[in-house]
Chain A
Amino acid sequence: MQLFPCPFCGLRSETEFHFGGDMGNLRPDGTETDAATWSSYLFLRNNPKGRTSEVWMHLTCGEVFRLDRDTVTHVVEKSAALTVEAHQ
């Protein structure tokens, strides 16, 4: 079993966490958006092999946060509170 670091609760079992998508996938402005941009926001994913930055939720405390990790080795680099700056 892997332990993931919640920035608020510390190391917890992987079963307490839920994957929430790519970092930086910000919602486009709804008034000026064509179908392709909406589709990209809703459905297209980076899905990299190797290092990645993702949004995760810690289900037991309900907080979402940024998790940087490797999708091959599963090594976690860091986790941080989710702020607008963290998205960039």
Chain B
Amino acid sequence: MTRRYSALSLFKEGLNNQQGWQKAWRSPEPRLRYDVIVIGGGGHGLATAYYLARNHGITNVAVIERGWLGGGNTGRNTTVVRSNYFFPESVALYDLALRLYEGLSKELNYNIMLSQRGMLTLAHSPADMEMSARSVNAMLINGVEAELLSAEEARALVPLYNDAPDARYPIHGGLIQRRGGTARHDAVAWGYARAADGLGVDIIQNCEVTEFIIEGGRCRGVRTTKGDIRAERTGMAVAGHSSVLAEKAGFRLPITSYALQACVSEPVKPALDCVVLSPATGTYVSQSDKGEMVIGGGLDRIPSYGQRGNLPVLETVISGLLEMFPSFRQLKLMRQWAGIVDVVPDSSPIIGESPLPGLFLNCGWGTGGFKAIPAGGTLLAHLLATGRHHDISRPFDLDRFVRGRLIDEAIGSGIAH
């Protein structure tokens, strides 16, 4: 019976012919009633369940997942973590996530393979350098380290970058957040799932929410393909399908669903040891621990729930990559896929109680939900446990769209949607 992972348990199991390992989580049948229901078994939903148990002592919790754990955007992103945002509200949110990520492997007893190799955003012109300096200053004022790099310093970090005399986007400098990097996306979902399960949370997969149980104007639970499940508080973290569930609950959201593509090359020997983004090409790339180049770019510009991705955008992303790293021309592309993301007019998430009392929202993360998982979980758990906002989640309430107090990170940090 080995539940805790350590070098010693690995050694013992080696002697024991690996017979003692337990399943990382149970697969219980749903009970009729819980204190809290969390819809969505991706990173945010599982983190919410874990923090409900750990921070608030609420363990009578069900996580309901239509498919399998981490099978949506948690398993489809490019695994980048960073907190290089502009507005104080955003930095507070995303840096909370990054700080929690920094201690997560130890806390969950599960290796999330966090690699703080640095997130480099290139500047291609003197004007770009001024914008980079503005970003660095904003981050420093908000208490997050960042460095402005000269052309030489930036080039030294990406020696394979195109420095031909006729290069369309030469390196003029850049900004780096050294605490940024990558983490293993599946491990984040599985680590939270295992830790939440260990604290008593029921994780129920292959169970689709078909309807909300609404009585006396409040959400009292959900109807699912495995029967009715009741709870006085329900949270939803179902990025990509937030509007679909909102419609079942009787309200609309300021969200449009788009496909966001990514792709990976065949694995090669180490050639790139930071995450590098060129705002001009819109392409960013990092090298996975396995050696694959993990490549991402902008959204498909057609509202969609089809998890495929279209050719013109893939072409733009790849041509951007080859402009940046001409030698990558030799690489074969192994896989290409898309996830459906919630795009919000101000490019900031929505966290708070929904128009249906008793139902709480964690959605609208746009193209950047993975990096925010620990914060999204902490804040939704706080809402579900106390019924009130955490100071960090208050500015991200749905009411900002009526009050006009938007947090526009498209202007702030140049998010391209």
Given A1-B312, A43-B345, A45-B243: A19 touches B301 (CB 8 Å cut-off):
yes
Q: Are A14 and B401 neighbours in the complex by a CB distance under 8 Å? A: no
Given contacts A2-B310, A14-B310, A49-B305, contact A44 B254 (CB under 8 A): yes
Is B107 among interface residues, defined by CB-CB distance under 8 A?
Answer: no
Question: What is the CA–CA distance of A15 and B312 in the complex, to the nearest angstrom?
Answer: 7
The interface bits of chain A over 20-61 (1 if a CB of B lies within 8 angstroms of the residue's CB, else 0) are 000000000000000110011011111111101010000000
In the complex, A50 Cα to B244 Cα: how many Å? 10
Q: How distant is the Cα of A40 from the Cα of B301 in the complex, in angstroms?
A: 22
A32 CB → nearest B CB, Å: 17
Once bound together, how far apart are the Cα atoms of A52 and B256, in whole Å? 12
Q: How far is the CA of A52 from the CA of B403 in the complex (A)?
A: 29
Query: In the complex, which of the residues A2, A36, A45 contacts B254, with contact meaning CB atoms closer than 8 Å?
Result: A45
Cβ-defined contact, B254 with A43, below 8 A: yes
B394 contacts chain A at the CB level, 8 A cutoff: no
Pair A72/B247 contact, Cβ less than 8 Å: no
| CB closest residue in chain B, given A38 | B402
When chains A and B are docked, how far (Å) is the Cα of A9 from the Cα of B40?
44
Cβ of B253 within 8 Å of any chain A Cβ, yes or no, is yes
Verify if B288 is at the interface (C-beta below 8 Å from A).
Answer: no
CB distance from B85 to the nearest CB of A (A): 21
A49 and B247 alpha carbons, distance in the complex (Å):
10
Chain B residues whose C-beta falls within 8 Å of the C-beta of A18 in the assembled complex? 301
Interface residue ranges of B287-337 to A (CB < 8 Å): 301-306, 310-312
CB < 8 Å: which of A2, A40, A47 contacts B243? A47
Q: Which residues of B contact A42 (CB under 8 A)?
A: 345, 401
Q: Number of A residues contacting the other chain (C-beta, 8 Å)? A: 26
Main secondary structure on B side of the interface with A: mixed
Assess the A45–B304 pair: CB atoms within 8 A.
no
A73 within 8 A of B: yes
How many angstroms from the CA of A67 to the CA of B141 in the assembled complex? 47
Give bound CA distance, A50 to B403, whole Å: 32
Q: Which of A40, A43, A71 has the most CB of B within 10 A?
A: A43
- Complex Cα distance, B241 from A19, in Å, reads 19
Cβ contact of B252, chosen from A13, A40, A49, cutoff 8 A: A40
How far is the CB of A67 from the nearest CB of chain B, in Å?
10
Q: Which of chain A's residues have a CB closer than 8 A to the CB of B302? A: 2, 14, 19, 74
For residue B257, CB closer than 8 A to chain A, the reply is yes
B255 lies within 8 A of chain A by Cβ? yes
The answer to whether B310 touches A71 (Cβ under 8 A) is no
When the two chains form their complex, are residues A49 and B256 in contact, meaning their CB atoms are under 8 A apart?
A: no
Report if A39-B402 is in contact (Cβ < 8 Å); known contacts: A1-B311, A14-B310, A46-B252. Answer: yes
List 27 contacting pairs A-B, 8 Å CB cutoff, sorted by A.
A1-B310, A1-B311, A1-B312, A2-B310, A14-B312, A19-B302, A19-B303, A35-B402, A35-B404, A39-B401, A39-B402, A42-B345, A42-B401, A44-B252, A44-B254, A45-B255, A45-B256, A47-B252, A47-B255, A48-B243, A48-B247, A49-B243, A49-B244, A52-B303, A71-B257, A71-B304, A74-B304
